[in-house]
């Protein structure tokens, strides 16, 4: 007998639920641990800016008031920061919501979205949900995006061309030559989408920033988040910078109050605290050097990274190693969901957290 389940859109059956990093409180409950170090979700180990925390406290008294649906104050701040007009900014409940907006607006049944693999899984979800076809192009052996193969994969049905820079989970960067190649060779009927969630961690002068192309009027959308270096993952603040025509279309599918008032004000305060950004970057650089050296000394393959995480290939079953670390109170991200069965993606923590992880990994690898 038919029931309501048969009424579901067939595209829903193609989706796999996104599996986030395991919460620390859940591990404490399950294993009876007093302390758990979470290095699975690329969160800022220093937490949010103190200025943002104070703004959140002040805004709590106004929780009964609906947020500004247009996000005027935050958009004004972002407009000044990035040199774009306010009608080129789309606010999201995290940048992943903006990714979903892009799929809803530009991808239809049979349309293609070219993307790297492995990469952030929401790109694939955004295409599949709309009946589109994700065209996944494998990264190189060192985790870099194969831009030539990606460009060669474009067809007349391609609507989106997605880059993650630096790429999650591999950490690889697209440099200026790479960005120039993409913008020169992707045809005008395709919207180039560049996810720069981790860009604030990059200090390499060769980083392939694409904002200048947007300023030239090119067909490119740039995604940013306050979840990473700004430490506001729990408040879900993201945004996209794009041509005004695209922003107007995305705002047709965006819910009126998709970004809450407390989140907007916290983001404004975070933008004003560049000292916190510099401290976060410094801690990350120190940790990246320490962990890369430690992992290499253990004989692991260490993927080059420009983000706040490191992917390593241990040669061991990643799910078993994940469990072995979990018992020691450390949460990392196994890469099985990306089809890589012997690697881990590890967030760079504080120096003390990094040292505890390194010692635990030495023990866990023997157990596995």
pLDDT digits (tens, 9 = 90+) for 124-138: 999 999 999 999 999
Kindly state the average pLDDT of the residues 15-26. 76
DSSP track, 242-271: --HHHHHHHHHHS-TT-S-HHHHHHHHHHH
Task: Compute the average pLDDT of residues 273-277.
Answer: 96
Residue 191, H or E segment: strand 191-195
Query: Measured between alpha carbons, how far is 68 from 118 in angstroms, rounded to an integer?
Result: 37
Q: Which of 132-136, 255-259, 266-270 has the weakest average pLDDT?
A: 255-259
HSE-up of residue 203 (Cα within 13 Å, Cβ side): 9
Least-confidence region, from 18-27, 112-121, 296-305: 18-27
CATH annotation of 19-47+275-367: 3.90.1150.10
- Which pLDDT tens digit goes with each residue over 290-306? 999 999 999 999 999 99
Distance CA 72, CA 101 (A): 20
Q: What is the pLDDT of residue 24?
A: 80
Q: How far apart are CA 339 and CA 119, in angstroms?
A: 11
The radius of gyration computed from the CA coordinates of the chain, to the nearest angstrom, equals 21
Sheet strands side by side (includes 220-225): 89-92, 238-241, 220-225, 191-195, 158-164, 112-117, 133-138
Nearest Cα to Cα of residue 157 among 122, 133, 129, 136: 133
In degrees and rounded to multiples of 5, residue 280 shows phi and psi of -65, -40
Residue 169 has pLDDT above 80, yes or no: yes
Whether 19-47+275-367 and 50-271 share one fold: the answer is no
Q: What average pLDDT does the structure give for the chain?
A: 95
Question: Taking Cα atoms as reference points, which of 147, 135, 149, 213 lies closest to residue 175?
Answer: 147
pLDDT digits (tens, 9 = 90+) for 31-84: 888 888 999 999 999 999 999 999 999 999 999 999 999 999 999 999 999 999
Structure confidence at residue 12 as a pLDDT band (50, 70, 90): confident
Q: What CATH number does the domain located at 50-271 have?
A: 3.40.640.10
Instruction: Give the separation between CA 122 and CA 42, rounded to whole angstroms.
Output: 16
Statement: residue 15 has pLDDT above 60: yes
Give the model's pLDDT for residue 2.
61
Q: What is the pLDDT of residue 280?
A: 98
Give 310-340 pLDDT, tens digit per residue: 999 999 999 999 999 999 999 999 999 999 9
What is the rounded CA–CA span in Å between residue 249 and residue 102? 9
Domain ranges for the chain, please list them: 19-47+275-367, 50-271
pLDDT of 1 higher than 60: no
């Amino acid at each position: 007998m038919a029931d309501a389940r048969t009424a579901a859109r067939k595209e829903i059956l193609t989706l796999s639920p996104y599996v986030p990093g395991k919460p620390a409180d859940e591990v404490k409950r399950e294993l009876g641990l007093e302390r758990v170090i979470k290095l699975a979700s690329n969160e800022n180990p220093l937490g949010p800016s103190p200025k943002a925390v104070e703004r959140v406290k002040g805004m709590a008294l106004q929780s009964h008031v609906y947020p500004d649906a247009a996000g005027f104050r935050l958009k004004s701040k972002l407009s000044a920061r990035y040199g774009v007009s306010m009608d080129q900014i789309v606010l999201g409940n995290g940048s992943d919501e903006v990714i979903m907006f892009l799929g809803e607006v530009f991808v239809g049944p049979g349309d293609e979205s070219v993307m790297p693999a492995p990469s952030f899984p929401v790109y694939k979800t955004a295409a599949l949900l709309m009946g589109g076809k994700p065209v996944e192009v494998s990264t190189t052996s060192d985790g870099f995006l194969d831009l030539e193969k990606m460009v060669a994969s474009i067809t007349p049905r391609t609507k989106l061309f997605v880059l993650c820079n630096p790429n999650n989970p591999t950490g690889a960067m697209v440099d200026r030559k790479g960005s120039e190649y993409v913008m020169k060779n992707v045809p005008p009927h395709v919207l180039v989408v560049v996810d720069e969630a981790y860009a604030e961690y990059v200090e390499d002068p060769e980083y392939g920033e694409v904002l200048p192309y947007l300023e030239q009027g090119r067909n490119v959308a740039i995604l940013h988040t306050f979840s990473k270096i700004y430490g506001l993952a729990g408040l879900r603040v993201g945004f996209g910078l794009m041509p005004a025509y695209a922003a107007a279309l995305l705002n047709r599918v965006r819910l009126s109050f998709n970004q809450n008032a407390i989140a907007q004000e916290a983001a404004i305060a975070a933008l004003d605290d560049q000292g916190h950004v510099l401290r976060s970057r410094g801690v990350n650089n120190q940790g990246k050097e320490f962990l890369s050296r430690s992992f290499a000394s253990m004989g692991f393959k260490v993927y080059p990274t420009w983000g706040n995480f490191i992917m390593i290939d241990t040669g061991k079953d990643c799910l078993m190693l994940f469990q072995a670390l979990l018992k020691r109170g450390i949460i990392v991200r196994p890469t099985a969901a990306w089809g890589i069965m012997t690697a881990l993606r590890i967030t760079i923590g504080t120096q003390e957290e990094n040292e505890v992880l390194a010692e635990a990994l030495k023990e866990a690898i023997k157990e596995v």
